[in-house]
Amino acid sequence: MISYKGYNAVDLHVNGETREVVIKPSETLLSVLRDKIGLTGPKAGCENGDCGACTVLLEGQPVKSCLVLAVEAIGKKVVTVEGLHDTEVQKAFVEESGFQCGYCTAGFIVNSYALLEENPDADASEKVEWLSSNLCRCTGYEDIEKAVDSAQRIKNNSESR
Ligand code: FES
Ligand code: FES
């Protein structure tokens, strides 16, 4: 790590690539992803851990990137919604129209992906509980649930072949 006047040049591993960024120790992972790496999928909603719009995977676990310092991600694998393109979950949200304004969608896709990796056979109540950490201000929860159900069916069918 190279330091200069409070800034540090660090490597972050994002969506399978190593990205060198110059950051302050106080910068959140969310702001670095959006403003320094140009990945605008994770959204700034509440910026205090309530809404889940900023959800990314850190070492495979969903985290709210507004609550994680970028320096905490050094040496760990970060995946944003951009890294989940062409996954069953991403396609299901498109096919089932699991969004309205779309502001919450990246967070829901990332967290739904993590859910189906962790518990592929999650039942309805487990899915609702898992996704309760994400809020949709347009309240389009029914179509979001349909999208997650569809992704789960497709994923489990393809894995059982
Ligand atoms: S912006 Fe991170 S939880 Fe709302
Ligand atoms: S689709 Fe608008 S906030 Fe969820």
Work out the average pLDDT over 79-86: 97
pTM: 0.95
* H/E element, 20: strand 17-23
| Among 49, 80, 111, residue at a domain's last position | 80
Q: In this structure, are 98 and 151 located in the same domain? A: yes
141 lines ligand 2 (CB under 6 A): no
Q: What is the rounded average pLDDT for all residues in the chain?
A: 95
CATH of the domain at 148: 1.10.150.120
Q: In this structure, are 16 and 65 located in the same domain? A: yes
- Number of residues in the chain: 161
Name the residue among 30, 24, 35, 72 with its Cα closest to residue 49: 30
Is pLDDT of 161 > 70?
A: no
- 37 φ, ψ (degrees, to nearest 5): -105, -20
Q: In this structure, are 33 and 87 located in the same domain? A: no
pLDDT digits (tens, 9 = 90+) for 30-78: 999 999 999 999 999 999 999 999 999 999 999 999 999 999 999 999 9
Give CA–CA dist 33/120, Å, rounded: 29
Q: In this structure, are 22 and 60 located in the same domain? A: yes
Q: In this structure, are 65 and 108 located in the same domain? A: no
For residues 47, 74, 63, 31, the Cα torsion angle rounded to the nearest 10 degrees is: 20
53 lines ligand 1 (CB under 6 A): yes
Work out the average pLDDT over 100-124: 98
CATH of the domain at 6: 3.10.20.30
* H/E element, 95: helix 88-95
Q: In this structure, are 7 and 74 located in the same domain? A: yes
Kindly state the tokens that stand for 143: 């179509």
Work out the average pLDDT over 18-31: 97
Which of the pair, 158 or 53, is modelled with greater confidence?
53
Q: Which residues does 32 contact at the CB level (< 8 Å), separation at least 6?
A: 12, 21, 23, 70
Q: How far is the CA of 161 from the centre of ligand 1 (A)?
A: 38
| Among 42, 58, 80, residue at a domain's last position | 80
Q: In this structure, are 58 and 69 located in the same domain? A: yes
* Residue in this structure with the two tokens 């190593």, named with its chain if needed: 18
Q: Which amino acid is at 80?
A: T
Q: In this structure, are 58 and 44 located in the same domain? A: yes
Q: How many domains does the chain have?
A: 2
Is pLDDT of 139 > 90?
A: no
DSSP string, 96-138: TT--SS-TTHHHHHHHHHHHHHH-TT--HHHHHHHGGG---TT
Q: In this structure, are 7 and 63 located in the same domain? A: yes
Q: In this structure, are 113 and 153 located in the same domain? A: yes
Q: In this structure, are 68 and 113 located in the same domain? A: no
* Predicted confidence band of residue 151 (pLDDT cuts 50, 70, 90): very high
CB-based burial of residue 41 (10 Å sphere; 0-12 exposed, 13-18 middle, 19+ buried)?
buried
Work out the average pLDDT over 126-131: 98
| Among 63, 80, 97, residue at a domain's last position | 80
Range of the structural domain that residue 90 is part of: 83-160
Is pLDDT of 2 > 70?
A: no
50 lines ligand 1 (CB under 6 A): yes
Which of the pair, 155 or 13, is modelled with greater confidence?
13
47 lines ligand 1 (CB under 6 A): yes
